[in-house]
Amino acid sequence: MSKSVLLLLDGNSLINRAFYGLFGRQQMTAPDGTPTGALFAFLNMFLRYLAQIDATHIVVAFDRKEPTMRHTLYDGYKATRKPMPDELAIQLPILKDILDGMGIRCIEKAGYEADDLLGTMAEIGKQQTADVYIVSGDKDSFQLVDDKVTIIWPVTRQGQSELEIYDRQAIIDRYELQPEQFVDFKAIMGDPSDNIPGVKGIGEKGALELLKQYPSLDALYDSLDELKPAQMKKLEASREMAFLSRELATICRQVPIDENMDDFKRREMDPGQLSDLLSRLGLKQLMSRLNLESHDKNKQEDATDEVSIEPLTPPMLGERLGKLKTEIIACWLTHHHQMLLMADSDQIWLIDPAQIKDAWQVISDSKVRTAVCDYKQILHTFQLSPLSLPAHDILLAAHLLNQIDGRPDLARLYQAITGQTLILEDASPAVTPYQEQELFSDPGQPASGQGKKKTQADGKDVPAAADADGSQDKKTAQADGADAEDVPAADLKQLRAVYEIAGQQVKAIHERQIEPLAYEIEMPLAAILAEMERRGFVVDKERKPKKATSLRDLKIVQQMDSTQ
């Protein structure tokens, strides 16, 4: 039978580290606005520990709000600590729910701190001959180290998170102390973070030197007459506080708990519970790391099962738009240079790559509002002219409706509006600006594949051109290269997402009465910026200001002189 490995984690220490030191305070929120930065940082750390330690038993210990036995001993204990910020406190119960879904035992007990629970569970583990690893950012835990207990201490160096491993020898190498001396070490030097007084006037360096000479606090006070008068005076004046500090710093290893090793055993993950939690929180990356996408009940349903895809030519598109009664259509341009349009929830129109420019002009002439994702980028990539009626860019609209979310993306917007997760298993890389411009290099010449004939199953050729009146049946449209079977499911899902997001945004913009700002300023400006970026601007290197009328002008002249 293989040996048990018990992994113990100080939940409060690590969630505080996640919040204050690992980007936990960044503006990262769930679709409903719940802060998630500390959750994300904590869970990424936690998964890293699981990858490095093959633990058979795992427990995460948490503090409680009630006073502990230490507060009874000393009413100043932790009195200088600031209360937990609300944006962190709200994430704690959510974290416990996530850990429960991962099959991880969480434990807390009124009157005791997480350290006491860790110390007690470490003793239980040792009695069952388990190897014990404790993850904590608190040096108090060093007193627990022995031949079976190892401390994993997370640190950050030059912006990079690292793990330091402390067994008995590592502590001796760094501090020249035995782990058992750490309680006396803290009793002498004190601890401002916990408001443990220690010996006034003696800090870390002095405490280390004293404990190198005298193995314990008791031995030190039994030998005061051997010390220098100044040291003896400080120690004598703080005798009571030194022994009180030792009591405050000592981790209790006999917390009355009913748990045994079987209670600490790692359970099977509950994919349903966990995927539901992470999906609602918008933590898609964690869902992917835990392979939970297939269990997501809130993911977007397969668009191919609910809609029909009809290939159209530009003249056919013009007819459809002329009869359209909806206020807005959605447009998605795929990396295959196909155009997908959605005017209602169960119908998608497909435009062949070679006819996109003509179709775009038809849309512009129709005066129908078109919803897109990243309007400026689309104009760049496909070398299109601005629409006569400004497009509805869902990214710009998202910024107008919520300035807090600095970098919205399609998936997050979709989840915020619908409550569903946009899972794109077969998504392809997006087109970058100016990529594959040869497809549209000369509007007068057919692009590759245009003007050719497509052979049907019966071997007969189907003409590619539409009739003079613009009419064309579905088979003929397919002959132009717009084949519904070639459209990736990811593109269909993204088109539907744009359609549903835009519909809700249009209502919100109307309710807030910011339509002039959206459609007369922000959306048209995107097209202007696209044109500016495309054309660039001319710089006259020879021209200089005639006269420097300010210090700023003088600096400009000097800078221009230096570049000549």
Q: What is the pLDDT of residues 118-130, one digit of tens each?
A: 999 999 999 888 8
pLDDT at 446: 36
pLDDT at 25: 54
Contact between 432 and 381 (Cβ < 8 Å):
yes
Token readout for 59 is 């427990």
Q: Please state the rounded mean pLDDT for residues 73-100.
A: 90
b/e string for 170-186 if b means 16 or more Cβ within 10 A? bbeeebebebbbbbbbb
What pTM did the predictor assign?
0.61
* Least confident interval from 55-64, 127-136, 176-185, 433-442: 433-442
Q: How confident is the model at residue 537 (pLDDT cuts 50, 70, 90)?
A: confident
Report the share of the chain in percent with pLDDT over 90.
43
pLDDT at 418: 72
Q: Please state the rounded mean pLDDT for residues 186-204.
A: 92
Q: What is the pLDDT of residues 362-381, one digit of tens each?
A: 999 998 899 999 999 999 88
Alpha carbons 163 and 122: distance in angstroms, whole number = 20
pLDDT at 547: 57
Report the share of the chain in percent with pLDDT over 70.
79
The bridge status of strand 328-333 relative to strand 339-344 is antiparallel
Closest CA relative to residue 248, chosen from 154, 53, 115: 115
62 CB neighbour count, 10 Å cutoff: 21
Contact between 182 and 136 (Cβ < 8 Å):
no
Q: What is the pLDDT of residues 322-340, one digit of tens each?
A: 888 887 899 998 877 789 9
Q: Please state the rounded mean pLDDT for residues 214-219.
A: 93
Alpha carbons 311 and 448: distance in angstroms, whole number = 18
**Cβ within 8 Å of residue 181, ≥6 positions away:** 211, 215, 216
Q: What is the pLDDT of residues 385-425, one digit of tens each?
A: 999 999 999 999 988 887 655 566 787 788 777 767 676 65
114 has pLDDT over 90: yes
Contact between 24 and 18 (Cβ < 8 Å):
yes
364 CB neighbour count, 10 Å cutoff: 17
Contact between 38 and 14 (Cβ < 8 Å):
no
Alpha carbons 380 and 232: distance in angstroms, whole number = 78
507 CB neighbour count, 10 Å cutoff: 10
Q: How many CA atoms lie within 13 A of 51 on its CB side?
A: 9
Q: What is the pLDDT of residues 464-478, one digit of tens each?
A: 333 333 343 433 334
528 has pLDDT over 60: yes
Name the residue with higher pLDDT: 41 or 466: 41
Domain ranges of the chain: 5-264, 299-535
CA distances from 194 to 76, 80, 197, 211, 529 (A): 9, 8, 9, 22, 55
Contact between 96 and 153 (Cβ < 8 Å):
no
Q: Indicate the burial class of 485 (C-beta count within 10 angstroms; 0-12, 13-18, 19 or more).
A: exposed
Q: How confident is the model at residue 301 (pLDDT cuts 50, 70, 90)?
A: low
Contact between 53 and 8 (Cβ < 8 Å):
no
Q: How confident is the model at residue 540 (pLDDT cuts 50, 70, 90)?
A: confident
Q: Please state the rounded mean pLDDT for residues 77-97.
A: 90
pLDDT at 291: 85
Token readout for 79 is 């009195």
pLDDT at 403: 63
Q: How confident is the model at residue 142 (pLDDT cuts 50, 70, 90)?
A: very high
Alpha carbons 400 and 404: distance in angstroms, whole number = 10
Q: Please state the rounded mean pLDDT for residues 272-300.
A: 78
241 has pLDDT over 80: yes
Contact between 404 and 27 (Cβ < 8 Å):
yes
Strands (E), 395-535: 454-455, 461-462
Q: Please state the rounded mean pLDDT for residues 426-434.
A: 42
pLDDT at 432: 38
430 has pLDDT over 70: no
pLDDT at 480: 46
Classified by CATH at the fold level, domain 5-264 comes out as Rossmann fold (3.40.50)
136 CB neighbour count, 10 Å cutoff: 25
pLDDT at 422: 75
Alpha carbons 43 and 280: distance in angstroms, whole number = 16
Q: What is the mean pLDDT of the chain?
A: 81
- Residue 370 corresponds to which amino acid? T
Closest CA relative to residue 215, chosen from 183, 189, 239: 183
Helices (H), 341-481: 356-366, 375-382, 394-401, 410-418, 474-479
Contact between 196 and 248 (Cβ < 8 Å):
yes
pLDDT at 544: 62
Token readout for 287 is 């869902």
pLDDT at 429: 42
75 CB neighbour count, 10 Å cutoff: 9
CA distances from 172 to 138, 168, 182 (A): 17, 6, 11
Query: Does 5-264 match 299-535 in CATH topology?
Result: no
218 has pLDDT over 50: yes
Contact between 315 and 477 (Cβ < 8 Å):
no
278 has pLDDT over 50: yes
519 has pLDDT over 80: yes
Coil, strand or helix at 387:
coil
pLDDT at 424: 65
- For 299-535, CATH number out of 3.20.20.70, 1.10.3720.10, 3.90.1180.10, 3.30.420.10 equals 3.30.420.10
Residue owning tokens 């443990």: 196
Q: Indicate the burial class of 61 (C-beta count within 10 angstroms; 0-12, 13-18, 19 or more).
A: buried
199 CB neighbour count, 10 Å cutoff: 25
Sign of the CA dihedral running 169, 171, 175, 177: negative
Alpha carbons 178 and 464: distance in angstroms, whole number = 85
Choose from 279-293, 296-310, 413-427, 439-453 the range with maximum mean pLDDT.
279-293
66 has pLDDT over 80: yes
Closest CA relative to residue 101, chosen from 140, 147, 163, 46: 46
**Cβ within 8 Å of residue 225, ≥6 positions away:** 232
Contact between 283 and 44 (Cβ < 8 Å):
no
Helix axes 523-535, 375-382, angle to 10 degrees: 40
pLDDT at 465: 34
